[in-house]
Amino acid sequence: MTIEQQQRAVIEEFAEIEDWMDRYQLLIDLGQEQTPLPDSDKTADNLIDGCQSRVWLTCHREDDGTLTFRAESDALIVKGIIALLIRVVSGHTPEEILDADLHFIHDIGLTEHLSPTRSNGLLAMIKQMRYYAVAMKAAQA
């Protein structure tokens, strides 16, 4: 699936749930489905600056040039947010990630239902994913 197709799938999934408490529960469930990061990946280098909660993010370049992201957070909703981001961008090339307009965040109403500190954390997560994409793109050049 393309990034755009992934975004549409997320938007459709959230559109089926009207109540925001149920949407928060969906985020928590998505976060709990993530495979936990090994302790060896929970390093200061992988910790995202700008998040109120602790969020570790790793990126691996696959043989086909796509990037695979893995993450973990010590906060349940944040863990779900990063799981959503990973679902949309993981498995794509650095170019696809850098060219993507991640509109699904706004379209599902997430930005309206996060505290200012969580919104800043969300932006920090996206920034870090894009940073990895830039670094991996430069490494392949």
| Helix intervals (H) in 16-115 | 20-33, 76-89, 94-99, 104-107
pTM of the model: 0.92
Q: What are the structure tokens assigned to 19, written together?
A: 């109540």
CATH number at residue 19: 3.90.1010.10
Euclidean distance between CA atoms 18 and 59, whole angstroms: 33
- The total number of structural domains that make up the chain: 1
Catalytic residue chosen out of the listed positions 3, 51, 67, 105: 51
Q: Is 59 a catalytic residue?
A: no
Tell me: the pLDDT tens digits for 111-141? 888 888 888 889 999 999 999 999 998 987 6
Boundaries of domain holding 28: 3-37+46-140
Tell me: the pLDDT tens digits for 78-91? 999 999 999 999 99
Euclidean distance between CA atoms 12 and 10, whole angstroms: 5
